[in-house]
Structure 1
Amino acid sequence: MLSKQVRLLVITGLSGAGKTQALQSLEDQGYFCVDNLPPSLILKFAELCTQSQGKVTRAAIVCDLRGGEFFSSLAEALGDLHREGFHYEILFLEASDEVLVGRYKESRRRHPLSPGGGILEGIQMERQMLTELRGVAHKIMDTSNLSSQQLRHQVAESFGNEQASGHLAVSVVSFGFKYAIPLDVDLLIDVRFLPNPFYVAELRPLTGEHPQVQDYIFSNPVAQEFVDKYLGLLEFILPYYVKEGKRHLVIGVGCTGGQHRSVAIAERIGLFLQERSYMMSVKHRDAARNRKGDKSK
């Protein structure tokens, strides 16, 4: 059985979304990697990995529309893997139309579905073709706002080092609802019910990372009780995510502007995870943006 010997990751998604960078990150993590493998060869590849006598313990392949007519058989190939008892995960990479168009213009490459031009039309056609595959993906990453280095880091965090507690990596992201909810959030917390430090003049220019802001927020009994109950919930459910085989969990913490309340709560969650030896990271997506002069929080 492959599930007992080899970790197999199938990388797919939109052209220009960063599949090459993702594969390079996995190669750095010790994965045996194959780019643009025809789906008809996936089962044979899996069988060869199991016959490597332990030399291949983690493998990653990229399958995308560069395979032309071969790509249409990917669903059938994945079905063959399942019927033969092989376990696999699908990583789906995507980005906004605007970002993808910009990347193609910068690279001066043609989109595989629009060899005669019309980059946007090709992207939209590809997005529609991949809708079903996206729906069965185990992990979806939106790379619109990620540099190549950030993407490689996220891939390594999700599928690389497995030495931390339970093999589960947890990312905590604070954000402002006014700037939209992060697309890859698994668990979402809305903390807009808490008192807002924005309306305290001396706290307004600070963020939830500052002790003064944290003292203001957590001096409220409701805030402290909420955090205690939520951390208790995490302590209960995280082992079950591990048991289920989940590798990466994203916790989104949102307030209006993403500068004060969400940042403070995210920091408290990060400390909780660190104390329990989970592989974790805390990112404040919108805190810096708000400090640059946005007046509405």
Structure 2
Amino acid sequence: MSEPEASPPQRQLLLVTGLAGAGKSTTLAVLEDLGWETIDNFPVRMLKRLVTMPDEARGPLAIGFDSRTRGFVPADVIALVKDLAARPDIALTFLFLDCAGGELERRFNETRRRHPMADGRPVQEGIAAERELLEPLRRWAEVMIDTTAMTSNDLQTRIRELFDPASEEAGLTITMSSFGFARGMPPLADLVFDMRFLDNPHWVPELREQTGQDAAVGDHIERDPAFAEAFERIRGLLLMLLPRYARQGKPYVHIAFGCTGGRHRSVFTTERMAQALRTAGFSPTVRHRNLGSRAADTIERDRR
């Protein structure tokens, strides 16, 4: 008795849309670097024909489209997505890139680009018209990324976390970072720990210009009675959570430690925790966002 033929592997298909200026071009560029075949502004009505064409490679395919794309009608796009999602040979994901209107207006003014739906009107009116047009797609999308507070590098990191084809085979990738609350929250962190309860080395004159990578600063932080217990509790929590994330198939985890300026307590704790995780068998990557920032009393003014 002959065995049934194996089903062909599903082709990864990612549809990328969103508000103009929210980061579609950056997203497609990152996907291309990750090995995706990418096509921007492909006519929507021809998409079904494209994905059914013979393709020996059948690698992951990303299609970008927005209000400028020929034949763009949100209701038609949703109908097409439903049809494609039902096919057994396609694994479809729909990504929507969003951004606050004020930030989009700033980006268009900064680059001196015309908004595609402004049509001679102020840019904010074009943004509002496009947002209304795209709202059905925003509600329909499985993945939504709000790029309002993201830099280009932040968005690139997020796209790699979500859509790197190699991530499933690579296991859990851990990033550990330090930052200063006074300089803004990290937009991509999965777990954030606030270390401002520790005594602040900034207010010790001989430590002010040093950082959490210097031994004297580390000694000062470790002398705080609260440090050892807090560190061990956070360590225990991470050692419980990380294997669970891995079993759930989560490819990336970003753990961030914050203090006021991002130069002392958060840096030291990040370095120490990374060392503890390496001892436990993990391989975290360490980044210090504000390590090179200037020591400033105005930033540390709450003395925390």
TM norm structure 1 = 0.76
Query: Equivalent residue of 1:65, what SS?
Result: coil
Q: Are the equivalent residues in 2 in contact too, given 1:91–1:141 (CA < 8 A)?
A: no
Counterpart residue type for residue 84 of structure 1: R
How much has 1:189 moved relative to structure 2?
A: 1.9
Find 2:87's aligned residue among 76, 84, 87. 84
Q: How many Å apart are 1:39 and its aligned residue?
A: 4.8
Counterpart of 1:266?
270
Q: Would you say the 8 A contact 2:35–2:60 is kept in 1?
A: yes
Q: Structure 2: how far apart are the matches of 1:174 and 1:143?
A: 21
SS in 2 for 1:266: helix
Instruction: Quote the Cα distance in structure 1 between the aligned partners of 2:166 and 2:276.
Output: 19
Q: Give me the CA root mean square deviation.
A: 3.8
Q: Aligned letter for 1:79? A: K
More helix per residue: 1
TM alignment of 1:3-152, pairs within 5 A: 4-39=9-44, 41-42=46-47, 44-48=49-53, 52-53=55-56, 55-67=57-69, 69-85=72-88, 86-95=90-99, 97-127=101-131, 136-138=141-143, 140=145, 142=147, 146-147=151-152, 151-152=155-156
- Cross-structure match for 1:192: 196
Percent identity, aligned pairs only, is 34
What stretches of structure 1 of length at least 5 have no aligned partner?
none
- Post-superposition shift, 1:34? 1.4
Q: Is the 8 A contact 2:14 2:92 kept in 1?
A: yes
Q: By how many angstroms is 1:96 displaced? A: 5.1
> Is the alpha carbon distance of 1:5 and 1:277 closer, same or farther for their aligned partners in structure 2, counting shifts above 3 Å?
farther
Q: Displacement, 1:20? A: 1.3
Opposite residue 60 of structure 1, the aligned amino acid is: A
The question of 1:217 aligning with 2:193 is answered no
Identify if the C-alpha distance between structure 1 residues 27 and 102 changes in structure 2 by more than 3 Å, giving closer, same or farther.
same
- CA distance, structure 1, for counterparts of residue 167 and residue 110 of structure 2: 38
Moved more, 89-98 or 203-212: 89-98
Q: If you compute each CA radius of gyration, which structure gives the higher value, 1 or 2? A: 2
Structure 1 residue 245 displacement after superposition? 3.6
Per the alignment, residue 186 of structure 2 pairs with 182
Amino acid at match of 2:16: I
Helix, strand or coil at the partner of 1:170: strand
The superposition leaves residues 79-105 of structure 1 with CA deviations (integer Å, 9 ceiling, x where unpaired) of: 334433543444444455455334323
Shifted more, 19-28 versus 93-102: the winner is 93-102
Any stretches of 5+ residues in structure 2 without a counterpart?
Answer: 1-5
For residues 182-213 of structure 1, give each alpha carbon's deviation from its aligned partner in whole angstroms, at most 9, with x where no partner exists: 33332222222233223322222333233322
Give, as a single letter, the amino acid of the residue that structure 1 aligns with 2:145: I
Distance change (3 Å), C-alpha of 1:28 and 1:213: same
Distance in 1 (alpha carbons) for counterparts of 2:149 and 2:7: 33
Rounded Cα–Cα distance in structure 2 between residues aligned with 1:215 and 1:222: 13
